[in-house]
């Protein structure tokens, strides 16, 4: 049985201008739906937890709730193949999964809104993890829909409108959500659970835009020659996946806390090593459960090979010894930005900036600037090549992260300016904060586009979806784990040392890109 092949060239092309193609604008609204959840469990939630009296170290641990994004390749084949009873018959395979994931996102956001972290922090963590899982699932199926709904000539425009919608969703869940919580009366000095509850219910209601879009769009053309399996195989796949997840959660939930053998920074480092070991052990147990089930005949072996084995084998066969270095760069490239991003909102608040200032700049203004950086990166990549753009971006990331060290020295001695921002209106904010956020987000947009373009070039057209899911998962997993300890590091060593460390993490990436740049110029994949 042969693996599925990307099939966009099976879709009839039209002579319409791209802006008259319905599918292009559909992705704007689906992107909006996909962009809402991530900040509700990443940035906005961290401020809610701080106002509720949760410590910095505990608040940043909640960034692990989006680790589901880093493991989505594990259940991506399940989403791709498994029909949903009744819904698949009514809506089709892709639309049914999009609708199911969107409903799951709404339920998870509403659950978070119904929990006061002051009294039920554990339950809030469970709800955040559920939202991360539902949101990652939505990303998987929307990506598949995007690939299958239009011919190759339109894929770039679909990606552009999808990212634009995604950014708008992030602005809503970030800047607008913080402003709403502010307007309802919650502050660091005067915490109001009701304010945050209303804010999160409003965010859940905003997901109705995505649901309405899903109900009116057309199901993409089904791939020809696509593998299908008996219902029993699908059910067994779900059962084995559930057993693996349950075993993983069981190990994590019942693992002991790191013993207090050291003090200060040494103890923080020991806690990181200990927790990482527990995480790896839990993953090994989950993998062992899945392997045992496969060897016991619970899953169709051909389904496993088609979904997981062949895409990985193809990558290593094409790149040989360079494959390890490529994966190492994917693993490390975003570590500096992600580690810093986990603590950024808390840092701004500790520096005395209001939620409106933070939301206006870091979420609205910052995201707009990052889009500009994305366009700049694309233009430069066309002129000098992707690898050279990637190399320049890595240097800029290290430099801009150092600007946060300067911001720690400014404190309350800042100069206020007034600007009119989209979705926010007239806002006064410190010029120093605006400069740092503008440059940081410009470089983030610049580096992200270059990196995505490079990772996309590594995939084989026969395994694009699976291989890219693996790359994107590797890209974020390790940085998010490290980022969970950013609050602990700040508590032990202070903000200035933390930002120096975050910048230093980007230095090895520069040398690794340089090495691969030379190797890939003279070595073609096998």
Helical pair 431-458 and 335-350, crossing angle rounded to 10 deg: 160
* CA separation for the pair 497, 77 (Å, rounded): 42
- pLDDT band at residue 3 under the 50/70/90 scheme: very low
Name the residue among 6, 20, 241, 240 with its Cα closest to residue 146. Answer: 6
pLDDT of residue 366: 76
Q: Does the pLDDT at position 207 exceed 60?
A: yes
pLDDT, tens digit, 9 for 90 and up, residues 412-467? 566 666 666 554 556 566 777 788 888 888 888 778 777 776 776 776 656 666 77
pLDDT at 311: 80
CB atoms under 10 Å from CB of 275, counted, come to 19
Judged against a pLDDT cut of 80, whether residue 44 lies above it is answered with yes
Tokens of 51: 């106002």
pLDDT of residue 379: 67
Instruction: Check residues 354 and 52 and name the one with the higher pLDDT.
Output: 52
Check residue 4 and give its pLDDT: 37
**Measured between alpha carbons, how far is 249 from 517 in angstroms, rounded to an integer?**
40
Closest by CA position to 44, among listed 205, 199, 201, 209: 199
Asked whether the predicted pLDDT for residue 180 surpasses 80, the reply is: yes
> pLDDT value at position 373?
75
Task: Put residue 47 in one of left, alpha, beta given phi > 0 → left and psi -120 to 50 → alpha.
Answer: alpha
Whether residue 492 has pLDDT greater than 90: no
User: pTM for the whole thing?
Assistant: 0.69
Q: How far is CA 446 from CA 139, 180, 361, 391, 392, in A?
A: 22, 30, 18, 11, 9
> Taking a C-beta distance cutoff of 8 angstroms, is the pair 214, 102 a contact?
yes
Q: What's the pLDDT at 7?
A: 37
Q: Enumerate long-range contacts of 185-190, CB under 8 Å, 24 or more apart.
A: 186/51, 187/51, 187/355, 188/50, 188/51, 188/349
Distance, CA of 508 to CA of 494 (rounded, Å)? 23
What is the rounded average pLDDT of the residues 234-238?
79
With cut-offs at 50, 70 and 90, classify the pLDDT of residue 196.
Answer: very high
Tell me the mean pLDDT in the region 177-203. 90
Closest CA to 19 of 213, 216, 220, 154: 154
The span from the CA of 256 to the CA of 289, in Å, is 22
* Main-chain dihedrals φ then ψ at residue 418, nearest 5 degrees: -120, 130
What is the end-to-end Cα distance of the chain in Å, rounded? Answer: 23
Report the distance separating Cα 176 and Cα 359, nearest Å. Answer: 7
Half-sphere CA count of 147, side-chain side, radius 13 A: 20
Q: Are 469 and 70 in contact (CB under 8 A)?
A: no
Contact 509/450 with Cβ under 8 angstroms?
Answer: no
- Domains defined for the chain, CATH in brackets: 1-228 (1.20.1250.20), 230-299 (no CATH), 320-526 (1.20.1250.20)
pLDDT at res. 5? 36
Token pair, residue 403, equals 């600007």
Q: What does the alpha-carbon distance between residue 141 and residue 136 come to, in Å, rounded to a whole number?
A: 9
User: Which segment, 108-122, 166-180, 253-267, 374-388, is predicted with the most confidence on average?
Assistant: 108-122
Identify the top-confidence range among 158-167, 243-252, 313-322. 313-322
The string of pLDDT tens digits covering residues 50-88 is 888 887 666 656 656 666 676 777 777 777 777 888 898
| Residue recorded with tokens 């972290």 | 117
pLDDT, averaged across the chain: 79
Least confident of 132-136, 163-167, 464-468: 464-468
Kindly report the three-state secondary structure assignment for every residue of 467-484. Answer: HHHHHHHHHHHHHHHHHC
DSSP 3: P
Buried b (16+ CB within 10 A) or exposed e, 173-207: bbbbbbbbbbeeebeeeebebebbbbbbebbbebb
Written in H, E and C, the secondary structure of 481-512 is: HHHCCHHHHHHHHCHHHHHHHHHHCCHHHHHH
Q: Residue 416: beta bridge partners?
A: 430
CB-neighbour burial class of residue 371 (10 A; exposed 0-12, middle 13-18, buried 19+): middle
**Binning pLDDT at 50, 70 and 90, where does residue 6 land?**
very low
DSSP labels for 186-241? --SSS--HHHHHHHHHHHHHHTHHHHHHHHHSPPPPPPTT-----HHHHHHHHHHH
Range with the largest mean pLDDT of 69-78, 115-124, 141-150, 482-491:
115-124
The whole-number pLDDT of residue 388 equals 86
Q: What is the DSSP letter of 149?
A: S
Q: Which of 16-20, 134-138, 374-378 has the lowest mean pLDDT?
A: 16-20
Mean pLDDT of 464-489: 73
User: Does position 513 have pLDDT exceeding 80, yes or no?
Assistant: yes
Most confidently modeled range among 286-300, 371-385, 417-431, 483-497:
286-300
Q: How confident is the model at residue 116 (pLDDT cuts 50, 70, 90)?
A: very high
The arithmetic mean of pLDDT across residues 169-198, rounded, is 88
> Percentage of the chain surpassing pLDDT 70?
79
Greatest CA separation found in the chain? 69
Mind giving me the DSSP string for 119-146?
T-HHHHHHHHHHHHHHHHHHHHHHHHHH
Comparing 221 with 119, the larger pLDDT belongs to 119
**H-helix or E-strand spanning residue 514:** helix 507-522
Q: How far apart are CA 276 and CA 42, in angstroms?
A: 20
Nearest residue to 404 via CA among 511, 495, 305: 495
Judge whether residue 288 has pLDDT over 60: yes
Residue 101 pLDDT exceeds 90: yes
Higher pLDDT, 410 or 36: 36
Question: Where do the DSSP E strands lie in 410-461?
Answer: 416-421, 425-430
């Amino acid at each position: 049985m042969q693996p599925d092949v990307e099939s966009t060239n099976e879709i009839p092309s039209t002579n319409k201008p791209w802006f008259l193609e319905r599918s292009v604008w559909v992705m704007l609204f689906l992107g909006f739906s996909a962009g809402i959840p991530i900040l509700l469990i990443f940035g906005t939630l961290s401020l809610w937890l701080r106002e509720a009296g949760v410590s910095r170290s505990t608040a940043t641990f909640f960034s692990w709730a989006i680790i589901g994004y880093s493991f989505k390749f594990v259940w991506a084949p399940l989403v791709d193949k498994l029909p949903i009873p009744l819904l698949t018959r009514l809506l089709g395979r892709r639309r049914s999964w999009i609708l199911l994931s969107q409903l799951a996102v709404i339920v998870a956001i509403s659950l978070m809104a119904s929990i006061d972290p002051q009294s039920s922090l554990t339950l809030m963590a469970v709800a955040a993890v559920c939202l991360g899982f539902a949101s990652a699932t939505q990303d998987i199926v929307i990506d598949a829909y995007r690939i299958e709904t239009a011919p190759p000539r339109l894929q770039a425009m679909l990606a552009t409108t999808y990212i634009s919608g995604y950014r708008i969703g992030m602005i809503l869940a970030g800047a607008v959500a913080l402003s709403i919580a502010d307007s309802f009366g919650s502050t660091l000095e005067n915490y109001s659970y009701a304010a945050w509850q209303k804010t999160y219910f409003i965010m859940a209601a905003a997901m109705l835009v995505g649901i309405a879009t899903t109900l009116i769009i057309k199901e993409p053309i089904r791939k020809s020659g696509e593998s299908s399996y008996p219902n029993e195989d699908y059910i067994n796949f779900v059962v084995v996946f559930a057993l693996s997840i349950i075993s993983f959660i069981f190990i994590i939930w019942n693992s002991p806390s790191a013993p207090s053998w050291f003090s200060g920074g040494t103890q923080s480092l020991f806690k990181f090593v200990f927790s990482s070991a527990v995480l790896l052990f839990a993953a090994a147990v989950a993998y062992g459960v899945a392997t045992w089930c496969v060897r016991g005949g619970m899953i169709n072996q051909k389904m496993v090979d088609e979904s997981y084995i062949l895409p990985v084998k193809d990558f290593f066969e094409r790149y040989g010894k360079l494959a390890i270095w490529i994966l190492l760069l994917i693993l490390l490239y975003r570590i500096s930005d992600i580690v810093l991003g986990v603590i950024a909102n808390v840092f701004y608040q500790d520096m005395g900036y209001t939620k409106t200032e933070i939301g206006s700049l870091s979420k609205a203004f910052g995201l707009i600037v990052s889009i500009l950086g994305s366009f700049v990166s694309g233009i430069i990549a066309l002129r000098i090549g992707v690898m050279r753009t990637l190399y320049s971006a890595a240097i800029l990331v290290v430099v801009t992260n150092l600007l946060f060290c300067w911001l720690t020295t400014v404190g309350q001695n800042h100069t206020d300016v007034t600007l009119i921002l989209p979705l926010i209106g007239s806002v006064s904010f410190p010029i120093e904060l605006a400069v740092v956020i503008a440059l940081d987000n410009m470089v983030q947009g610049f580096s992200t586009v270059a990196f995505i373009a490079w990772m996309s070039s590594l995939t084989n057209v026969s395994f694009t979806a699976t291989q890219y899911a693996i790359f994107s998962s590797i890209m974020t997993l390790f940085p998010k784990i490290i980022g969970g300890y950013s609050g602990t590091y700040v508590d032990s060593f202070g903000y200035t040392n933390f930002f120096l460390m975050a910048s230093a993490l980007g230095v090895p990436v520069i040398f690794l890109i340089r090495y691969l740049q030379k190797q890939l110029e003279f070595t073609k994949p096998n």
